Amino acid sequence: MNGNWVKTVLLIIILGSFLLLEACGNGKNAAAWRPGKALAKEKIKVGVIYMTDPLTETSGYSYAHEMGIREMQERLGLKDEQIITKIHVQDTDAEGIESAMRDCIAREANIIIATSWGYMDACEKLAIEFPHVVFAHASGYKYNSTNFTNYFGRIYQARYLSGIAAGLKTKTGKVGYVAAMGKDSSEVTGGLNAFALGVESVNSKAKIHVRITYSWFDPMEEANAARFLIAADCDVIAQHCDTPFPMTEAEKAGVWGLGYNSDMSKEAPNAVISSVLWNWGAYYTFLVQSVMDGTFTAEPYFGGISEGLVDITPPNMLVAAPGTAEAIEEARNRMINKSFNVFDGILETNDGRTIGEAGLTLADSEITGNMNWYYRNVVESLGF
């Protein structure tokens, strides 16, 4: 047999194998995403990873994300079979997280949406292994230059507005705050400090008493924290945690509350003044549309009130103090026109230090990544 002919045959086999791998192997199927290339709508398949089951919830963190996924699906016209949902994936279970993502990819998902902080490292790892899949991670800080991005937003803007509602409502001058994590978590602390600034803007004598559960999702401890704060004479309860239990505890005790993630007035209509909202549909529509258009980049996304990503529900006028809606709208308009950004000028911590500079505002990176202090009107309580 001619040696050159043999080489030619071998070359054809190798080339064919390479093309087959490119088409089918390692998650690189016919519906694979490629940088700078548009992907037809009918080829889009989105895998969404949740800590809980949002289909059984009426409020809270996963529920808010699910509402955003549904909004995206409706706005872009995706079919139900183009959405793969993974539920009860605990963000402390590294093996379970990776398994859930791999299963989505095996089912030809070309976009993975990872909704919890603890999913970040799995995204980082699998983005290398599957370069033709887009990974989007909520609330984290890791990303790469091609197919792994993170997304979050200026929730501190909405927190400030809810602080106005709390400051105007409290009669005891004590406002409770159920926090998932302590001051070492900038995500939680940034929101709490913004809330505290909002309270102070309308009630300079009020104090914010924080109780920490050390868990993003713990219904029992969230309820316990709320009861502890109510027993300490807090007559308004705010929260940065996943379930509506702090609000339902507030209603049981005849006090008031500010919900989080989604509208929690459904669970506690006689207590909830307003709820801080994540409108995740704004980002999910942007993300999937960019993949369809071929314009996706891994640059982190950080939206706010102006982009429609965060907001608060209109104050419940049966519960809110007089003038609440007007005070919130005035501050909200200043945020939109960029004349006010919450963490402006020199800020005093509750241990006597100062942060920031006159005439300047803290950068988003500082607020979300390096805020390990509490504002001057925050009183710390030991967690559980």
Distance CA(129)–CA(255), nearest Å, equals: 51
Q: According to the model, what pLDDT value does residue 369 have?
A: 85
Rounded to an integer, the average pLDDT of 273-283 is 97
Is residue 74 pLDDT above 50, yes or no? yes
Distance CA(37)–CA(17), nearest Å, equals: 23
Is residue 20 pLDDT above 80, yes or no? no
Rounded to an integer, the average pLDDT of 94-99 is 98
Q: How confident is the model at residue 23 (pLDDT cuts 50, 70, 90)?
A: very low
Distance CA(319)–CA(254), nearest Å, equals: 11
Q: What does the domain layout of the chain look like in residue ranges?
A: 31-153+281-303, 155-278+309-380
Distance CA(238)–CA(112), nearest Å, equals: 32
Q: According to the model, what pLDDT value does residue 17 have?
A: 40
Rg (CA), the chain: 24
pLDDT digits (tens, 9 = 90+) for 307-347: 999 999 999 999 999 999 999 999 999 999 999 999 999 99
**Weakest mean pLDDT among 28-37, 65-74, 114-123:** 28-37
Tell me the torsion sign for CA atoms 181, 187, 193, 196. negative
Rounded to an integer, the average pLDDT of 24-48 is 81
Contacts of 266 (CB under 8 A, 6+ apart): 58, 59
Q: How confident is the model at residue 29 (pLDDT cuts 50, 70, 90)?
A: low
DSSP state of 209: E
Name all contacts of 253-261 with Cβ < 8 Å and 24+ positions apart: 253/227, 255/230, 256/169, 256/319, 258/162, 258/165, 258/166, 259/59, 259/313, 261/59, 261/60, 261/61, 261/63, 261/64
Q: According to the model, what pLDDT value does residue 211 have?
A: 97
Whether residue 150 contacts residue 182, with contact meaning beta carbons closer than 8 Å, is answered with: no
The arrangement of secondary structure in 155-278+309-380, i.e. its CATH architecture, is 3-Layer(aba) Sandwich (3.40)
Is residue 13 pLDDT above 60, yes or no? no
Q: According to the model, what pLDDT value does residue 381 have?
A: 79
Q: How confident is the model at residue 114 (pLDDT cuts 50, 70, 90)?
A: very high
Is residue 109 pLDDT above 80, yes or no? yes
Q: Percent of the chain beyond pLDDT 70?
A: 91
Whether residue 274 contacts residue 291, with contact meaning beta carbons closer than 8 Å, is answered with: no
The arrangement of secondary structure in 31-153+281-303, i.e. its CATH architecture, is 3-Layer(aba) Sandwich (3.40)
Are 31-153+281-303 and 155-278+309-380 equal in CATH topology?
Answer: yes
Is residue 160 pLDDT above 60, yes or no? yes
Judge if pTM exceeds 0.95: no
pLDDT digits (tens, 9 = 90+) for 364-380: 989 988 999 999 999 99
User: Higher pLDDT residue, 31 or 175?
Assistant: 175
Mean residue pLDDT of the chain comes to 92
pLDDT digits (tens, 9 = 90+) for 179-190: 999 999 999 999
For residue 209, the cross-strand partners are 176, 379
Give the three-class secondary structure for 270: coil
Q: According to the model, what pLDDT value does residue 134 have?
A: 98
Q: According to the model, what pLDDT value does residue 246 have?
A: 98
pLDDT digits (tens, 9 = 90+) for 233-260: 999 999 999 999 999 999 999 999 999 9
* Terminal CA-CA length for the chain: 79
Q: How confident is the model at residue 150 (pLDDT cuts 50, 70, 90)?
A: very high
Angle at 309 between CA 44 and CA 148, to 5 degrees: 45
Q: According to the model, what pLDDT value does residue 254 have?
A: 98
Structure tokens at 92: 């402390």
Q: According to the model, what pLDDT value does residue 368 have?
A: 86
Q: How confident is the model at residue 383 (pLDDT cuts 50, 70, 90)?
A: low
